[in-house]
Amino acid sequence: MVAVYERTYQNATKVTRKANPFGFDPIFAALSKAAAITVLVLLAGIMASMIYGGWPAFREFGFGFLTGTQWDTMNDRYGGLPAIVGTLSTALIAMVIGVPLSIGTAIYLTQLAPAWFKRPVGTAVELLAAVPSIIYGMWGLFVFVPLFAAYFQVPVSQVVEGMPIVGTILYARSPSGLGILSAGIILAFMIVPFIASLTRDMLDQIPTVLRESAYGIGCTTWEVVRHVLLPQAGVSIVGAVMLGLGRALGETMAVTFVIGNANRLSASIMDPGSTIASRIASEFNEALGMQMNALIGLGCVLFFVTFVVLVIARILVSRVKQY
Amino acid sequence: MSDTTANAAPQGQVKWGRVRQSRRISDKVLRVFATVSTMLAVFVLFWILGMLIWKGGQGISLDLFTKITPGPGTAGGGLLNAIVGSIVLTFLGIAIATPIGVMAGTYLAEYGKGSKLADLVRFINDILLSAPSILIGLFVYVILVMPFRGYSGWAGSIALAIIALPVIVRTTEDMLRLVPNSLREAGAALGAPPSIVIRQISWRAAKAGIVTGILLALARIAGETAPLLFTALNNSFWFNWNLTGGISNLPVTIYAFASAPYDNWQQLAWAGALLITAAILALSIGARSLLNRK
């Protein structure tokens, strides 16, 4: 009996073994690995193509490509400083305005909102994050910019005119509403829902016990947020903010609509300017020869700046405390 | 609550009244600030939607869906070619990204657990997820448009596919990780090889989640403009299924028409913006409800 059983068992294993080495299994495994490697190849390809396309410009202008302020298509002299400064300053304005608002929104959604209100408001915030950037651009150009010009730029310019420092930074030579500050404000509106929903998810992960024990010894909401929630979520909120920064740096369409696309360096944030992305979007299709290389070179600068920001962001976000 | 704590421990020279007041004020400030910032976000959403419906709604007519984009200075016209072009580009992009994305997500969740390669791919995928979309347009321009000397529908849909890919990889992996291991073990115990376990058990269990990811990717790329500017470009002719030439699409048409000096172009841009936003919000809501139903 035992012998018969063993023989059948061995036969059975033999049959399956025969089918295995040439079966679908190894192919499937190889396919899935190849798909995963595609992701790596894509990022490497983006990096390589930016360096390849921008190389003539780097070679021609050297370090001056980063520090030059001329963008002269007639004489083929290109310097990226105005666009680089524009990118950094719009992103900075967006962060200064957007970060407090997004953390406030996340706190409201997790701590203050009544239960029945949480879901609709949370969904609304997430939908705001899904609105495409060209829509923000149109809203910015046709709705926000005229209001901004009439009710902020004109009065503020009148007040600050002639003042030292403030008069330089906030004075609008031509109060059209377009400019670095308007672009920064639109960017802030775009990153708020993004950072807020990430931060909300992080605050939600903190065990309720921690929060309840703090309330239990008589802490106010502010004290719970300041001494319990923020220290607990700490680093990962910084990560979420950095992700928002990565977004603000590379945002194209909305900025292109409202920044005014001026190619000079201005001390005032009310004046039109340009960012790397808006410069590429508005000039690339008409660009030839060195101008195109210079634009791809700017793209290369943008790539490395966002790459560093995003790497730091991901490392910080992945350090979320596990409970 | 704060009153009782403060009153219960009156000691030394601490001025409890002042402490109580400052605690009350800091709390009030936080509450007001958090509420106001949330209301501001919701207000902006409704402002944008309201403006789209008000300005775009006037342009919704039968012509919009039956006539092609008008030339400069020509009256009337619709968005038919742009709508069809956008649908083709978007679905082609998803069709390219879905198999690669689902397989890559499967590798991360099923095969590559704990491997160095999987950790690297996951990290790089997250970077790609937030990479500026205009750089993806430049990349496709350098590898596809420059060597073949021409804008093409293929280049546009590949650019969109590169944007959709990381979204699909990420959601597929997350959803497969939610499938309990006991299911896989039960399949393996029946003698099923890994590929069968994955296809018949893991994928089937995670189906709703994976479809959600694909819908979210669709919503993400439907409104992307920057990567199409120098890949698919645009044309104002009737759509002819020729993917080797420039192809008209909604986002680039909106971009070109919005700041144009012709009234009917601006009207079309608003109508197009309304269509695209409605489609994207419907997709996002659909994806969300699909996920919540489980």
Same-domain check for residues B70 and B48: no
Residue A310 tokens read as: 């995003």
Q: Contact B247/B160 with Cβ under 8 angstroms?
A: no
Residue A164 tokens read as: 């030292």
pLDDT at A101 over 60: yes
Please name the member of B5, B132, B273 whose beta carbon is closest to the beta carbon of A306: B132
- Name the band, by pLDDT with cuts 50, 70 and 90, for residue A167: confident
The residue behind tokens 């609550």 is: B1
Please name the member of B47, B100, B138 whose beta carbon is closest to the beta carbon of A280: B138
pLDDT at B188 over 70: yes
Please name the member of B38, B104, B230 whose beta carbon is closest to the beta carbon of A36: B104
Same-domain check for residues B35 and B85: no
- Name the band, by pLDDT with cuts 50, 70 and 90, for residue B24: confident
Question: If we measure between CA atoms, which residue out of B79, B1, B50 comes closest to residue B253?
Answer: B79
Same-domain check for residues B28 and B93: no
Same-domain check for residues B208 and B92: yes
Same-domain check for residues B121 and B212: yes
Q: Which of residues 121-180 of B touch A (CB under 8 A)?
A: 121, 123-128, 130-136, 138-139, 141-143, 162, 165-166, 169
Ranking A81-85, A176-180, A266-270 by mean pLDDT, the lowest is A266-270
> Which of chain A's residues have a Cβ under 8 Å away from the Cβ of B5?
217-218
Q: Which helix (H) or strand (E) holds A72?
A: strand A71-72
pLDDT at A304 over 60: yes
Instruction: For B282, name the nearest residue in chain A, comparing CA atoms only.
Output: A127
Distance from CA of A40 to the nearest CA of B (A): 6
d(CA A20, CA A240): 46
pLDDT at A118 over 60: yes
Query: E strands along A137-272, which residues?
Result: none
pLDDT at A39 over 90: yes
Same-domain check for residues B211 and B252: yes
User: Which carries the bigger pLDDT value, residue B81 or residue A244?
Assistant: A244
Q: What is the mean pLDDT of chain A?
A: 84
User: Which carries the bigger pLDDT value, residue B239 or residue A148?
Assistant: A148
Same-domain check for residues B67 and B48: no
* B178 burial level (CB within 10 Å; 0-12, 13-18, 19+): exposed
Residue B153 tokens read as: 């529908």
Q: CB-based contacts of A194: which residues, under 8 Å, 6+ apart?
A: A102, A129, A243, A244, A247
Please name the member of A109, A132, A302 whose beta carbon is closest to the beta carbon of B135: A302
pLDDT at B53 over 60: yes
Highest mean pLDDT of the ranges A111-115, A315-319, B11-15? A111-115
At B236 the pLDDT is 58
> Which of chain A's residues have a Cβ under 8 Å away from the Cβ of B155?
none
CATH number at residue B202: 1.10.3720.10
DSSP letters, A21-35, are TTSHHHHHHHHHHHH
Instruction: For B289, name the nearest residue in chain A, comparing CA atoms only.
Output: A123
In sequence order, what are the beta bridge partners of A72? Answer: A77
Q: Which helix (H) or strand (E) holds A9?
A: helix A2-19
Query: How far is C-alpha B118 from the chain's CA centre?
Result: 24
According to DSSP H, which parts of A132-179 are helical? 133-139, 145-148, 154-160, 166-170
CB contact under 8 A, A223 and B27: yes
pLDDT at B89 over 80: yes
Highest mean pLDDT of the ranges A72-76, B13-17, B112-116, B273-277? B273-277
Residue A34 tokens read as: 């190849």
d(CA A213, CA A216): 5
pLDDT at A18 over 70: no
- Name the band, by pLDDT with cuts 50, 70 and 90, for residue B12: low
At B293 the pLDDT is 66
The answer to whether residue B110 neighbours chain A at the CB level (below 8 Å) is yes
d(CA B88, CA B82): 10
Helices (H) and strands (E) in chain A, counts: 16, 2
User: Which carries the bigger pLDDT value, residue B240 or residue A167?
Assistant: A167
The answer to whether residue B2 neighbours chain A at the CB level (below 8 Å) is yes
CB contact under 8 A, B27 and A221: yes
Q: Is the dihedral of CA B197, B200, B206, B210 positive or negative?
A: positive
At A266 the pLDDT is 77
Q: Which of residues 90-109 of B touch A (CB under 8 A)?
A: 99-104, 106-108
Name the DSSP letter for residue B68: P
Same-domain check for residues B171 and B237: yes
Reported pTM: 0.87
pLDDT at A17 over 70: no
> Which of chain A's residues have a Cβ under 8 Å away from the Cβ of B110?
32
At B183 the pLDDT is 92
pLDDT at A22 over 80: no
Residue A158 tokens read as: 């009148």
Please name the member of B191, B195, B224 whose beta carbon is closest to the beta carbon of A25: B195
pLDDT at A48 over 50: yes
**pLDDT mean over B37-49:** 92
The residue behind tokens 């596919």 is: B161
Please name the member of B135, B255, B285 whose beta carbon is closest to the beta carbon of A253: B255
Instruction: For B24, name the nearest residue in chain A, comparing CA atoms only.
Output: A220
Same-domain check for residues B15 and B129: no
Same-domain check for residues B83 and B192: yes
Ranking A173-187, B39-53, B97-111 by mean pLDDT, the lowest is A173-187
pLDDT at A11 over 70: no
Same-domain check for residues B231 and B176: yes
d(CA B231, CA B157): 9
Mutate to test the interface with A, among B4, B134, B158 (most CBs of A within 10 A): B134
pLDDT at A153 over 90: no
d(CA A227, CA A219): 10
Same-domain check for residues B136 and B67: yes
**pLDDT mean over A166-175:** 72
At B6 the pLDDT is 47
Q: Contact A54/A299 with Cβ under 8 angstroms?
A: yes
d(CA B93, CA B195): 26
pLDDT at A305 over 50: yes
> Which of chain B's residues have a Cβ under 8 Å away from the Cβ of A143?
47, 51
d(CA B69, CA B264): 10
The answer to whether residue B13 neighbours chain A at the CB level (below 8 Å) is no
- Domain carrying residue B287: 62-293
Per the rule left: phi > 0, alpha: psi between -120 and 50, beta: everything else, B114 is: left
> Which of chain A's residues have a Cβ under 8 Å away from the Cβ of B139?
45-46, 49-50
pLDDT above 70 as % of chain A: 91
At A77 the pLDDT is 83
pLDDT above 90 as % of chain A: 34
Distance from CA of A246 to the nearest CA of B (A): 7
Instruction: For B288, name the nearest residue in chain A, comparing CA atoms only.
Output: A123
Residue B104 tokens read as: 């890559």
d(CA A251, CA B132): 7
At B4 the pLDDT is 47
At B2 the pLDDT is 45
Name the DSSP letter for residue A78: E
> Which of chain A's residues have a Cβ under 8 Å away from the Cβ of B107?
32-33, 35-36
Q: Is the dihedral of CA A252, B259, B247, B286 positive or negative?
A: positive
pLDDT at A119 over 90: no
**pLDDT mean over B143-154:** 80
Q: What is the mean pLDDT of chain B?
A: 85
DSSP letters, B227-283, are HHHTTT----S---S-TTS----HHHHHHHHHTSS-HHHHHHHHHHHHHHHHHHHHH
Q: Contact B47/A124 with Cβ under 8 angstroms?
A: no
d(CA A220, CA A206): 18
Residue A273 tokens read as: 């300017």
At A14 the pLDDT is 47
Do the bridges between strand A77-78 and strand A71-72 make them parallel or antiparallel, or are there none, so unpaired?
Answer: antiparallel
**pLDDT mean over B26-33:** 91
d(CA B161, CA A75): 38
Domain count, chain B: 2
φ, ψ for residue A247, nearest 5 deg:
-70, -45
The residue behind tokens 């005014």 is: A260
Please name the member of B48, B133, B233 whose beta carbon is closest to the beta carbon of A252: B133
Residue A130 tokens read as: 């899904």
pLDDT at A321 over 90: no
Distance from CA of B110 to the nearest CA of A (A): 10
Question: If we measure between CA atoms, which residue out of A199, A184, A312 comes closest to residue A249?
Answer: A184
Q: Which amino acid is at A181?
A: L
Residue B57 tokens read as: 């709604």
Global ipTM: 0.85
CB contact under 8 A, B121 and A40: yes
d(CA B262, CA A22): 65
Distance from CA of A224 to the nearest CA of B (A): 10
